[in-house]
Structure 1
């Protein structure tokens, strides 16, 4: 669960930083004005691409944790099924 929280918080921070940069650049280019919709769209695109590279380690840790929990659950299910078959 910790890996999920860390990854999610880092994604949110990356989006917020991207949004701030996009709004700042738009404000500089358009005399202090910016279009909120396009700023959000651009920030999503930039943060999505950046997270692919920047948050690779956190994503891998999260994936390993999920895979480990799935393997444990599968093993427990198989053990219960085997005990059921013995009865």
Structure 2
């Protein structure tokens, strides 16, 4: 569960930081306080997705390893229960 929280918070943080930078640059270039929501949102989504692929590789691998370990344990429990059922 910890790996999920760390990875998710890192992704959200990366998105928020990307959006803040894009909105800040937009405000500096346009010289206005009004920032449209859609275009900076889409640009931040793309930038944070690409950046997270490279920057969050470690947390993503730890999360994937945790999910894989839990899946293997569940499969082992299922197979054990099935073999006991077959013996009865």
Runs of 4+ displaced beyond 2 Å: none
Q: Indicate the residue corresponding to 1:12 in structure 2.
A: 12
In the alignment, the residues of structure 1 paired with residue 85 and residue 6 of structure 2 have an alpha-carbon distance, to the nearest angstrom, of 39
Unmatched tracts of structure 2, length 5 or more:
none
> 1:50-77 CA distances to partner (integer Å, 9 max, x unpaired)?
0000000000000000000000000000
Q: Secondary structure at the match of 2:31?
A: coil
Q: Indicate the residue corresponding to 1:74 in structure 2.
A: 75
Task: Please report the RMSD computed on the Cα atoms of aligned residues, expressed in angstroms.
Answer: 0.8
Q: How many residue pairs align between the two structures?
A: 87
Q: Indicate the residue corresponding to 2:85 in structure 1.
A: 84
Q: Indicate the residue corresponding to 2:42 in structure 1.
A: 41
TM-score scaled by structure 2?
A: 0.95
1:34 CA drift (Å): 2.5
**Bigger mean CA deviation after superposition, 45-54 or 30-39:** 30-39
